[in-house]
Structure 1
Amino acid sequence: MDRLGVVLTDRGSRYAVTGARVASRAEVDAVLAELKTDRAYAKATHNTWAAMLPAGGLKADDGESGAGMVILRMMEREGLKDHVIIVTRWYGGKKLGGDRFRRVQDAVRAYLGHLSGNTG
């Protein structure tokens, strides 16, 4: 599991991104469970995620409506397979409106950039 930690903030909300190689829904659930053993992640407002598995794409918004689809579409465009990406948000007290999707995209881009830097 690659946990990049907090990669950006916007109006008090903090965003972190985590990812891992997975091949099944059970492995996705195991990664989520492992992430939530960290109390900060367990108490986060949202742990939105998407996964590209051999059987197809899965997503969960965890209360951040539409965010799972944003992650899934980015993974599809990137051609990233057998992977889960989790974007964690700690709500900062101010609604971000449509900017929340841009922050999710920014977090996913940070993870994809991290992956491309680890080609070895």
Structure 2
Amino acid sequence: MYDLLEEVREAVENAREQGTVSLHENKEEQSVETSQSLLQYSDSSAPELGPEPPWVIAPPITEKKSVFLARAARVSSPAQAQQYLAHLLATDKKAARATHNMTSWRIKGHNDTSYQDCDDDGETAAGGRMLHLMQLMDVWDVMVVVTRWYGGIHLGPDRFRIINTAAREALVLGGFAKDAEGKKKGKK
């Protein structure tokens, strides 16, 4: 049902962009041309999204029909992190329709202040685990968004492993993680 409504909405938007929208009033069909002022009004009511975020996108991970996709981007303030998330949800229809868009970010501010935050988006404790991963990796001035499309099969606690694997992959691909060569190898 939702897909049908989305198709109808897209068809109406396409008709508006082409300049013709047909309305039905009193059983008479009228053709109404969309004026420039209507287009300007609809554009001015849309929130300012800003520039395209510089996402580093990790390869998707599929597990029992669920798909996980991680993105990472450098950020300098909590407001910028929220703006990047808003831009993602406004411009990527697949991400906007996803079951969950879990986020976390860590930012070093002026005078040794630090900002850390996370959002589960309904996937209980997932944002906190992503934030913990970022703390362990000592990653700063970065945000991570892991998008999950639920496949109908419960994953249980394995979902946290997959979410962290996807987030870690995006952080490594983006070069945000510290180089491990200078550190001792961890416990076996």
Give the superposition deviation at 1:6: 4.8
Greater share of strand residues, 1 or 2? Answer: 1
1:40-79 → structure 2 map (5 Å cutoff):
40-54=94-108, 55-79=114-138
Counterpart CA distance in 2 for 1:63 and 1:14 is 16
| Residue-by-residue CA offset, 1:71-93 (whole Å, 9 max, x unaligned) | 10111111110110000000000
1:10-64 superposed Cα distances (whole Å, 9 cap, x missing partner)? 0000000111111222111111011111100000100001000223210000000
User: Runs in 1 of length 4+ with deviation above 3 angstroms?
Assistant: none
- Give the 3-state SS of the residue equivalent to 1:68 in structure 2: helix
**CA distance in structure 1 between the aligned counterparts of 2:57 and 2:107, rounded to whole angstroms:** 22
Residue type matched to 2:78 in 1? R
Pair member with larger Rg: 2
Q: Judge conservation of contact 1:15–1:89 (CA < 8 Å) in 2.
A: yes
The answer to whether the 8 Å contact 2:58/2:173 transfers is: no
Contact 1:13 1:91 in 2 (8 A): yes
SS of corresponding position for 1:116: coil
Measure, in 2, the Cα distance between the counterparts of 1:78 and 1:43: 30
* CA–CA separation in structure 2 for the residues paired with 1:116 and 1:21: 10
1:102 to 152, 161, 166: 161
**SS in structure 2 of the partner of residue 49 of structure 1:** strand
Aligned residue number for residue 151 of structure 2: 92
The count of aligned residue pairs is 119
Deviation of residue 116 (structure 1)? 3.0
Shift of 1:115: 2.2
Preserved contact between residue 67 and residue 149 of structure 2 (Cα < 8 Å): yes
Q: Are positions 1:28 and 2:81 aligned together? A: yes
Superposed CA RMSD in Å reads 1.9
CA shift at 1:3, angstroms?
A: 4.2
Contact 1:7 1:110 in 2 (8 A): no
